[in-house]
């Protein structure tokens, strides 16, 4: 079954456009510096150096890739400046997502690990050939209570609260067994697809941050998580800034264990930054 991915991260980080489009589709005009506009110049150079020197034969999981997936990864890496969809550095860990010629396939790099991810169903994905199923539901959140729970009262004083959503995630295996890049790409596709529209695109941009929190929860071995996503605006039309914040939890032994937060801001004007 052919499904279109939602380009969730490239559209967030580009200051020019946030309209949801066919995911992981090619954008020839995309420039490397714009794709990594959330990073400092030093971090951008670290990502570029990593991609320029990355070799499949020395990847930590080289033996997990089939001959076909090695060819996909090799071709994608050779043209990484055109294929780069998302890059970030989280606690020193490099998280990178690259587009491919197939809109249902992306390449995820987490430091020295490389994975070819293919969507084969609405909630089914092949990760280096291994099928993984994800159950994801999204419901309206009651209020902005998470700000109080997490001790951040008042930090959003300049922002107008619009709405919130609870995202419930049930993965096939424990979160700590996934890499942040592969899990983030998968969750971003699902988040954006379910929520849809402008906010769906922005919420999907939080996916790698949420996935990093999930994947780093090895002390809470679970495959069930929850994210409380908040949407805010600031300013008046046509100059309206938008912010999405995700508070991420592991559901461990029947309790919600707070893991951390992720945030994305879309400025209304070119050159405003993020």
β-pair type (124-127, 160-170): unpaired
Q: Where are the domains of the chain?
A: 5-266
Asked if the model's pLDDT at residue 102 lies above 90, the reply is yes
Residues 6+ apart with CB under 8 A from 185: 86, 97, 106, 108, 117, 207, 208
Nearest to 221 by CA among 171, 176, 169, 167: 176
Asked if the model's pLDDT at residue 178 lies above 50, the reply is yes
Strand partners, 257: 250
Per-residue confidence band for 270, with pLDDT thresholds at 50, 70 and 90: low
Cβ–Cβ contacts within 10 Å for residue 257, how many?
16
Strand partners, 245: 230, 263
pLDDT digits (tens, 9 = 90+) for 162-176: 888 888 999 999 999
Which is higher by pLDDT, 5 or 194?
A: 194
Q: What is the mean pLDDT of the chain?
A: 80
Residue with tokens 């990093």: 212
HEC profile for 98-109? EECCCCCEEEEE
pLDDT digits (tens, 9 = 90+) for 220-237: 999 999 988 888 889 888
Strand partners, 236: 239
Cα–chain-centroid distance for residue 202? Answer: 10
Prediction pTM value: 0.78
Asked if the model's pLDDT at residue 19 lies above 50, the reply is no
Asked if the model's pLDDT at residue 25 lies above 50, the reply is no
3-state secondary structure of 164: strand
């Amino acid at each position: 079954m052919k499904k279109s991915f939602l380009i969730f991260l490239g559209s967030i980080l580009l200051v020019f456009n946030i309209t949801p489009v066919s995911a992981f589709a090619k954008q020839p005009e995309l420039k490397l510096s714009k794709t990594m506009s959330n990073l400092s110049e030093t971090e951008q150079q670290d990502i570029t150096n990593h991609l320029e020197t990355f070799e499949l034969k020395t990847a930590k999981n080289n033996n997990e890739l089939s001959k076909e997936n090695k060819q996909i990864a090799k071709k994608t890496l050779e043209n990484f400046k055109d294929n780069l969809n998302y890059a970030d550095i989280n606690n020193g860990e490099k998280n990178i997502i690259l587009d491919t010629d197939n809109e249902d396939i992306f390449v995820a790099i987490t430091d020295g690990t490389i994975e070819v991810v293919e969507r084969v169903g609405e909630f089914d994905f092949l990760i280096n050939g291994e099928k993984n199923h994800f159950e994801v539901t999204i419901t309206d959140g009651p209020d902005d209570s998470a700000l109080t729970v997490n001790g951040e009262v008042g930090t959003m004083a300049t922002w107008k609260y619009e709405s919130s959503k609870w995202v419930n995630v049930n993965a096939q295996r424990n979160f700590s067994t996934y890499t942040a890049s592969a899990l983030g790409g998968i969750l971003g596709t699902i988040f954006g697809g379910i929520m849809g529209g402008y906010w769906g695109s922005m919420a999907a941009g939080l996916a790698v941050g949420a996935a990093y929190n999930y994947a780093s929860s090895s002390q809470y071995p679970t495959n069930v998580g929850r994210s409380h996503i908040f949407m805010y605006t600031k300013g008046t039309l046509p100059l309206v800034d938008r912010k999405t914040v995700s508070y991420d939890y592991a559901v461990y032994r029947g309790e919600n264990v707070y893991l951390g937060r992720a945030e994305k801001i879309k400025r209304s004007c070119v050159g405003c930054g993020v």
